[in-house]
């Protein structure tokens, strides 16, 4: 586990744009272990994620766990000891896959996607985007054998208080949220810094043309050209929105 907390000022964008020449920037690499590799293909091959890959800023390899499945059916799961509904992912296939991957990389974190993990938030995305090699393990059924968690996993992450059918969509969420933070991935280099949550505030409302639509007008301040006043308005709006929708982010009661 990391022993420090990232603050807004230390977020990778702020650091990276000042100190790193893009040509010297090493890509962040994700290895993802899954029994459903096809599920991950689409979310990671469009728009910003594809651009990040094309620019060589992000590399993602998806590994089919069945490669190490047991027997002619390539089994990766079994009944749980003690009884109870639902299968558990066995130790050997995952351990063999992780051991193989660890021969060629040292991971900053080995992350297991699970509903009982730490609730994922922007702060964690910022921190992980400073890593170079991340290994993501997607669970299925009742999850993976506890001994694998004890043996290999350094971070357990949940993307919300609900249960998905497997960790793949959660893994895609991590890759996307981390990938878009890497320097050079977004065209407008400041835009990730003004995202919701980057300073524990929700983003202010945004408007584009036309200036009037169905009788609804854009707030006049945005058309004023007064940059400082616009900035102040945005900050006020961000705070108001956060206070009414997510008071917990301001440390206030919900």
Binding site for ligand ADE (CB under 6 A): 113-115, 139, 158-160, 162-164, 167, 170
Helix axes 168-179, 47-54, angle to 10 degrees: 60
Q: What are phi and psi of 137, to 5 degrees?
A: -115, 120
Q: Closer to ligand ADE at the Cβ: 57 or 173?
A: 173
Q: What are phi and psi of 60, to 5 degrees?
A: -135, 130
Length of the chain: 254
DSSP state, 22?
G
Q: Closer to ligand ADE at the Cβ: 11 or 111?
A: 111
Q: Closer to ligand ADE at the Cβ: 114 or 126?
A: 114
Q: Closer to ligand ADE at the Cβ: 90 or 184?
A: 90
Q: Closer to ligand ADE at the Cβ: 197 or 233?
A: 197
Q: Closer to ligand ADE at the Cβ: 129 or 158?
A: 158
Least spacing, CB of residue 112 vs ligand ADE, in Å: 8
Q: What are phi and psi of 160, to 5 degrees?
A: 160, 165
Place of tokens 């090699």: 133
Least spacing, CB of residue 215 vs ligand ADE, in Å: 42
Least spacing, CB of residue 8 vs ligand ADE, in Å: 25
Q: CB of 239 within 8 A of CB of 203?
A: no
Reduced 3-state DSSP string for 64-97: EHHHHCECCCCECEEECCCCCCCEEECHHHHHHH
Least spacing, CB of residue 84 vs ligand ADE, in Å: 17
Q: Closer to ligand ADE at the Cβ: 160 or 219?
A: 160
Number of Cβ within 10 Å of residue 141's Cβ equals 17
Least spacing, CB of residue 34 vs ligand ADE, in Å: 12
Residue 18: which residues within 8 A CB-CB, separation 6 or more? none
**What is the DSSP pairing of strand 77-79 with strand 58-64?**
unpaired
Least spacing, CB of residue 202 vs ligand ADE, in Å: 22
Grouping H, G, I as helix, E, B as strand and the rest as coil, residue 60 is strand
Question: Token pair for residue 45?
Answer: 């091959």
Q: Is the dihedral of CA 63, 164, 252, 190 positive or negative?
A: positive
Least spacing, CB of residue 44 vs ligand ADE, in Å: 16
């Amino acid at each position: 586990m990391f022993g420090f907390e990232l603050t807004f000022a230390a977020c990778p964008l702020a650091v990276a744009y000042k100190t790193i020449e893009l040509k010297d920037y090493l890509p962040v690499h994700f290895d993802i272990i899954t029994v459903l590799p096809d599920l991950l293909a689409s979310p990671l091959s469009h728009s910003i994620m594809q651009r990040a890959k094309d620019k060589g800023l992000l590399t993602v390899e998806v590994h089919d766990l069945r490669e190490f499945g047991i027997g002619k059916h390539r089994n990766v799961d079994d009944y749980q000891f003690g009884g109870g509904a639902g299968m558990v992912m066995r130790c050997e296939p995952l351990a063999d896959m992780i051991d193989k991957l660890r021969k060629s990389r040292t991971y900053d974190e080995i992350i297991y996607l699970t509903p009982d993990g730490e609730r994922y938030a922007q702060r964690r995305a910022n921190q992980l985007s400073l890593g170079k090699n991340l290994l993501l393990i997607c669970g299925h059924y009742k999850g993976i054998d506890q001994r694998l968690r004890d043996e290999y996993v350094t971070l357990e992450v949940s993307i919300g208080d609900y249960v998905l059918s497997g960790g793949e969509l959660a893994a895609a969420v991590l890759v996307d949220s981390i990938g878009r933070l890497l320097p050079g991935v977004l065209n407008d280099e400041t835009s990730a810094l003004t995202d919701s949550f980057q300073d524990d505030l929700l983003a202010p409302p945004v408007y584009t043309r036309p200036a009037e639509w169905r009788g609804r007008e854009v707030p006049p301040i945005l058309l004023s050209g007064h940059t400082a006043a616009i900035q102040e308005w945005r900050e006020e709006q961000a705070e108001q929105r956060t206070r009414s929708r997510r008071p917990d982010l301001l440390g206030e009661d919900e």
